Amino acid sequence: MQASRGVSRGVAIAVVLGLVVPLLWAQGPAQEAKTPPPRAEEVSRQYLPLHPKPRNEAEGKIIAALEDMYVRQSRGMGNVLPEDGRLLRMLTETLGARHVVELGTANGYSALWFCLALRSTGGQLTTHELDPKRIALAKENFRRAGVEDLVTLVEGDAHETIQKLAGPIDLLLLDAEKEGFTDYLTKLLPRVRPGGLILAHDSSGQAHLMHDYFQALAAHPDLETVFVDASRWGLCITRKMQ
């Protein structure tokens, strides 16, 4: 009887091993936990300074203002991050933009990135802001950065003030309230030149507020769009094809 029980127990163990071992073998060696790849913003900050080195004295004043604003004024302003600013400058300068329009000046941080490019292109910036406190702060920042000759700051509700804008617009930045982007697009697209760019900030960070805008872009036959995350907030970059 004991021998019979021993044989039965051995058979059971063999059956279990025969089922489990192949399963373990099929799964292969245990996988090590994978570290997620770094974001573009993280790679940028590993290799690049937050703000570029100035090429001349005029750029030096602008960059000094940018650095101070980043440290002292960023809170609550909804500013683009330096990585976005680099992209704004690069696109403006590469496009050779002569007329840049911005909706949502805040304290003027993104405007100064545009001014770095406009010093090279010989262009002008028209920027729109509603908040009186932000307007006063932006004017002071433009003064100390030495860019008052490059910037026209329009005060008031941009949904109304943009009606007076003259074209052609080479580059348009939408960085005001997200729910208004579709109206801005409708009113200003006819003034954007063929080949011009429309940039919408926060296209990743606040995408949930921009569904109507994205749908309007996708439905328009003359627009081509790409989403770029230079920083975690994202830029939606649209080209007016014709």
Contact at 8 Å (CB) between 199 and 237?
yes
φ and ψ at residue 68, rounded to 5 degrees: -65, -40
- Look at the chain and count its residues: 242
**pLDDT tens-digit profile, the chain (242 residues):** 444 444 455 444 444 445 444 544 455 555 567 889 999 999 999 999 999 999 999 999 999 999 999 999 999 999 999 999 999 999 999 999 999 999 999 999 999 999 999 999 999 999 999 999 999 999 999 999 999 999 999 999 999 999 999 999 999 999 999 999 999 999 999 999 999 999 999 999 999 999 999 999 999 999 999 999 999 999 999 999 99
Instruction: Say what the pTM is.
Output: 0.85
Residue with tokens 């030096």: 60
Q: What's the CA gap between 174 and 172, in Å, rounded?
A: 7
Q: Which amino acid does the sequence have at 210?
A: M
φ and ψ at residue 107, rounded to 5 degrees: -90, 5
| Domains, the chain | 58-240 (3.40.50.150)
Q: What's the CA gap between 210 and 202, in Å, rounded?
A: 9
